[in-house]
Amino acid sequence: MTEVALANLPEWDLSDLYPSRTSPELIEDLDTAARDAKAFAEQYKGKLTELDGQGLYLAIAKYEEIGEMEGRIMSYAYLVYAGNMSDPDIGKFFQTMQEKISAIGTDLLFFTLELNRVEEDRLQAMYEASSLKKYEPWLNNVRALKPYQLSDDIEKLLHEKDISGRSAWVRLFDETIAGLKFEIDGEEMASQQALHLLSNPNAEVRKKAAKSIGKVFGENVRLFSLITNTLAKDKAIEDEWRAAPEPATMRHLSNQVEADVVNALSKAVQDAYPRLSHRYYAIKAKWMGQDKIDYWDRNAPLPDSDDRVIPWDEARDTVLEAYGRFSPELSELGKEFFEKPWIDASVRPGKSPGAFAHPTVPSVHPYLLLNYQGNIRDVMTLAHELGHGVHQLLAAPQGGLLADTPLTLAETASVFGEQLTFRALLEKETDPDKRRIMLAGKVEDMLNTVVRQIAFYEFERRLHDARKEEELSPDQIGKIWMDVQKESLGPAIRLHDEYQYYWSYIPHFIHSPFYVYAYAFGDCLVNALYAIYQEAESGFQDKYFDMLKAGGTLRHKELLAPFNLDASDPAFWSKGLSVIEGFIDELEAL
């Protein structure tokens, strides 16, 4: 049944980017980008302070055009690589593209550095009589980094060494994870398949999977510890040179969010652990007839859960119908991903684990990667990634420099898509037992998004702080991990020794340090937004589309103002968390 239900899963066709790794179009774009970058440097290096407003506008427009070409090349290279990280030829191609694009970037590096030398008064005057105003949000983001900017030579060195430094360690992590094999009942599996079994209805299967995962991660923990230590030290050195006050500072800047807003979110969630995760897992343990449950039962289906495999076509129709109930336009945008080869959903050896939506460049379209195995969480993951994809389509007209949404708001459309899908399914369900199981599943997803991600953020904070003092042994990292897990999961979850290695597969710690709080930010934000949607008589959809179309042109205060929401108000986070608490109250009543 599983094989039939999961037959004919879509795989993407990347030819909208380039026909192949050796195509003339790709080679020509590489040559053009390299040539244009050198010409750009000749024309503008050392001369930005001489330009008027319109001249600077034209310079930024050209910079954006070259960046679009670079982005197209690297999007293609990464997506090919994500499709099969264990193929050495593909790995070589990906590394070669990174090196070539890095060299092109070296010629362009001067531009943002020199922009920060333009006096503020002069820049403000330049906005008045030119088209430059279009790029003001981007210039504001560039200039936010001014206090942390180093000399041109040091910035150039950091840029050029990234390819043999940080990027190389990230690649080592990716290829190691993709190549790991987990033996369960005599069958070899990739990491995404083994982790998927932690949601299996059979308790013995969950336990075997958990033990195998712990064993393999434990056998590789020295390598993962070396990668983590090296990247944390690398970050600490750069942060010290830049005089960044804390390890998360540069992430907050790129997210266009103030540190005190993130601190308020983190504190609100940590204060709510007893009311949320501790209480829910105690209820779940009781449902499962135990005082405590083992960590491998945390995401176990509840007794009497629907464990059927959901075919891909049903998952697609469920999500698009839910989107359509909110807005036919949203559903039509989503449908395009299924009608065209923009989704890669099958599970196969060497493929990147997990799921993502890659925006590529505004002139093409996003691509979605999933590892679809047919459970209800996979349907929610589809709703989530499709939300990202639709958001990226709507923001694309802003152009290469302004389409990217900061991470704090990048999770809005994805989590909202999940919420729409869940609410649509819940409304259809009339059986009280099935409603209870659906509500429990939603609570678990929200705990994974809010509590779990803030715990991950706290783990990173403690790890980076400890790494400033000394290199951390696997045991030290494991202890930080276990301490944070005990605090966040509570006394109803029994953690076994091998769980100390489970930090090692989280890609965000390696790819994007301190990324993880964006998920909690997005979930609490969407809870508040959804409450307003339920109360709104009309006009909400238009405001919502305007927010998505804005891309990176507005900060969170400006984007949320039309909804009378303010993320800098501590009460805002309490409002978002109260939605999860309300679901748990309802479950207790049931």
Residue-wise pLDDT tens digits, 388-429: 999 999 999 999 999 998 877 888 999 999 999 999 988 888
- What average pLDDT does the segment 333-350 reach? 96
User: Among 196-205, 436-445, 461-470, 527-536, which range has the highest average pLDDT?
Assistant: 461-470
Confidence category of residue 531, pLDDT binned at 50, 70, 90: confident
- For residue 327, the SS3 value is coil
Distance in angstroms (rounded) separating the CA atoms of residues 6 and 4? 5
Q: Looking at this protein, which amino acid is placed at residue 462?
A: R
Beta strands in 270-309 (DSSP E): 293-294
CATH of the domain at 68: 1.20.140.70
CB-CB contact of 501 with 217 (8 Å) = yes
Give dist(CA 149, CA 345) in Å, integer.
Answer: 41
In one-letter notation, the amino acid at residue 105 is: G
Q: Containing domain of residue 110, as a range? A: 24-149
Rounded Cα gap, residues 230 and 232, in angstroms: 6
Among 528, 484, 523, 573, residue whose Cα is nearest residue 268 = 573
Given the DSSP bridges, would you call strands 367-369 and 343-344 parallel, antiparallel or unpaired? parallel
CB atoms < 10 A from the CB of 44, how many? 21
CA-CA distance, 1 to 400, in Å (whole number)? 45
User: 């040179």: which residue's tokens?
Assistant: 241
Angstrom distance (rounded) from CA 319 to CA 316: 5
Q: Check: CB of residue 567 under 8 Å from CB of residue 557.
A: yes
Specify whether the CB–CB gap between 328 and 37 falls below 8 A. no
Residue 200 lies in a domain: no
Residue type, 426: L
Residue 283 is assigned to a structural domain of this protein: no
Task: Tell how many helices (H) and how many strands (E) occur in the chain.
Answer: 28, 7
What pLDDT does residue 1 have?
Answer: 43
Give the integer Cα–Cα distance in Å for 173 and 469. Answer: 24
Relative to beta strand 343-344, strand 182-184 is unpaired
Q: Confirm whether 426 is domain-assigned.
A: no
Pairwise CA distance, residues 390 & 405, whole Å: 13
If pLDDT is split at 50, 70 and 90, which confidence band does 24 have? very high
Q: What tokens does 228 get? A: 């983590």
Amino acid at position 61, single letter: A
pLDDT at res. 378:
92
List CB contacts of 157: < 8 A, sequence separation 6 or more.
Answer: none
Cα dihedral sign for 511, 226, 220, 486? negative
Do the beta carbons of residue 373 and residue 490 sit within 8 Å?
Answer: no
Q: Is residue 75 part of a domain?
A: yes
Over residues 268-289, mean pLDDT: 95
Spatial distance between the Cα atoms of 443 and 367, rounded to a whole number of angstroms:
29
Average pLDDT, the chain: 93
pLDDT bucket at 538, cuts 50 / 70 / 90: confident
pLDDT over 80 at 533, yes or no: yes
Domain count, the chain: 1
Calculate mean pLDDT across residues 39-68: 96
Per the listing, tokens 């491998």 go with 296
DSSP code at position 275: I
**What is the model's pLDDT at position 3?**
59
Q: Compute φ and ψ for 344, nearest 5 degrees.
A: -115, 110
**Is 578 inside a domain boundary?**
no
Mean pLDDT (whole number) for 545-572: 90
Select from 275, 334, 368, 304 the least CA-distant residue to 585: 275
- Residue 58 has which token pair? 């034209």
Kindly state the tokens that stand for 505.
């597969």
Neighbours of 181 (CB within 10 A): 12
> Concatenated DSSP letters for 72-92?
HHHHHHHHHHHH-TT-HHHHH
Taking residues 221-240, what's their average pLDDT? 97
pLDDT at 534 exceeding the cut of 60? yes
> How many CA atoms are closer than 13 Å to the CA of 112, on its beta-carbon side?
23
Q: For the purposes of burial, counting CB atoms within 10 Å of the CB of 542, is it exposed (0-12), middle (13-18) or buried (19 or more)?
A: exposed
- Amino acid symbol at 490: G
Residue 5 banded pLDDT, cuts 50, 70, 90: low
Helix, strand and coil percent figures for the chain, each rounded to 5: 70, 5, 25
**Residue 129 domain-assigned (yes or no):** yes
Asked whether residue 577 is assigned to any structural domain, the reply reads no
Task: Please state the φ and ψ torsions of residue 343, each to the nearest 5 degrees.
Answer: -125, 135
Report phi then psi at 304, rounded to 5: 75, 10
pLDDT digits (tens, 9 = 90+) for 432-461: 888 888 899 899 999 999 999 999 999 999
368 neighbors 386 (Cβ within 8 angstroms): yes
**Cα-flanking dihedrals φ and ψ of residue 357, to 5°?**
-120, 120
| Position 550 in a domain | no
pLDDT at 4: 52
